[in-house]
Amino acid sequence: MHQLIHPVEIIDKAPDHPGLILVPCFMDDNLSISWLPSKTYQGYVPEKNQIFQIFLADQDLTVVLLGMGPDDHIATVFESFRSFMINHRKMITKDLLVDLRQLPDDLAYQSVLGLTLSDYSTGTYKTGKSSSVAFPKIQILVDRFHPTLETVVQEAGQTAEVVKRICALVDAPGNIKTPAFLGQWAVDSGKQFGYQVALLDYRELKAENLLALLAVGQGSINQPLLIKMQYLHPDLDPAETHLGLVGKGVTFDTGGLSIKRATNMHYMKSDMGGAAAVMGAMELIARLKLPINVTAVIPVAENSVDANSIRPGDVIGSHSGKSIEVIDTDAEGRLILADGLSYMQQHYHPGILVDLATLTGNCVAALGYQAAGLFTNSNDLADRFTSAGEIAGERVWRLPLWDSYGDALHSDVADVKNLSGKPVAGAIAAAKFLEVFVEEAPSWAHLDIAGVAFGDTAHAKMKSATGFGVRLLLEFVKSLISTKL
């Protein structure tokens, strides 16, 4: 038996008294269920996410058929198992045996991921009755134990743990999740899982000329900072081409003087979803000890309303040396990303540069809540992220970066302005703004995750974090490792 960080174990022999048995089944299955006396069962197959219970009184045994729908898409398997654990937890009074003997390793991974992610709770700050629910012990029954499957299930458990930590970070309220809080989270993670973390404070930001980051944070009592995270695999040359990740870390976004409407402003605690995805990916890469060198740079600030806040029409500097005309103070994420991207290139020279950000509502208007917007100057990166998204169940869709879109960012008084002012193509204009600051990057991709990092979820009645980006980046990194890039 191989114990995980969660109470999940792999077994290749059924226990004598399993109690509750969960069996996934697809619409086109010719079910053969060994738990039933007749040895075969060719009857009702439940619809997707529905269950059908068979109780055997003489054995005190309940077999639950879990409907997967008509196909075996990765996202379907993940959501079906997660939905079962969330919606039917009360029926699991003892341990749970999950029969995965008919599933290949990749779907077994998604099954375990769905099972173990189901116990995330948003009630961290509630008092009185605990919001946590005891997580039942889960046994995964397979035909034959093999090392690859152990790795698959172990990775699923580690991934689930990281995704839940990231969800908790995104869901944390703004008065607790200050820039300093985010920085300490990174420091603690680095110490625990063996990678390097350093923080640049206000004085060091000024010394490094991170002027756009300082401008965004100057209206807040909580000073901005820059988080630097680096994982160097011991068997790789530190000087060889590596991956650079940049995440937008706005811990709370009022919109600044271009203030947001009050209706949904409380959700702006999630405006560091890009930073969270990058931080989670760094921790997961270190936990799994993947053979790759990765550096992350995360600019962190709170965008507040104050007498010292930047104003619409102000011209600010940036780390790259380029001047920026601030048209809208609510287009602040791209300002701090500009400094993060420039700093990354100057200090680390990554061969591949990727940034993630909850950047524009326009991307939500274009793609809804089903996919992140992907912008890249590399067809290879586009293919890799598209494939990684399908494997992870976190889809992306490529949008154009044509030169003609850049005209909307012309400024008469500065090198570039931070908002086009047009009511269309806002996500593209934001990507074109970032492109101005990635001139040295041979391969660059920008992911606008505004519609997928935070929204309606199965584990909360209000909008909450999804953990989007961690699994996507993991699969992307795996693709780089597999081709030794």
Contacts of 385 (CB under 8 A, 6+ apart): 374, 376, 396, 445, 447, 472, 476
Helix, coil or strand: residue 412: coil
Distance CA 201, CA 405 (A): 36
Contacts of 223 (CB under 8 A, 6+ apart): 179, 180, 201, 202, 217
Contacts of 117 (CB under 8 A, 6+ apart): 82, 160, 163, 164, 467
Active-site residue among 82, 228, 248, 334? 334
299: closest CA among 224, 245, 360?
Answer: 224
405: closest CA among 440, 448, 436, 378?
Answer: 436
Q: Is 334 a catalytic residue?
A: yes
Lookup result for tokens 């930001």:
205
Helix, coil or strand: residue 78: helix
**In the 8-state DSSP scheme, what is residue 243?**
E
Q: Where are the beta strands (DSSP E) in 68-217?
A: 96-99, 138-141, 196-200
99 by Cβ neighbours in 10 Å (0-12 / 13-18 / 19+) ranks as: buried
Phi and psi for 141 in degrees, rounded to 5? -90, 125
Active-site residue among 89, 101, 137, 260? 260
Distance CA 49, CA 206 (A): 54
For residue 442, give Cα distances in angstroms to 244, 352, 369, 381, 463. 12, 7, 30, 11, 37
Distance CA 269, CA 174 (A): 5
106: closest CA among 151, 67, 164?
Answer: 151
Q: Please identify every residue annotated as catalytic.
A: 260, 334
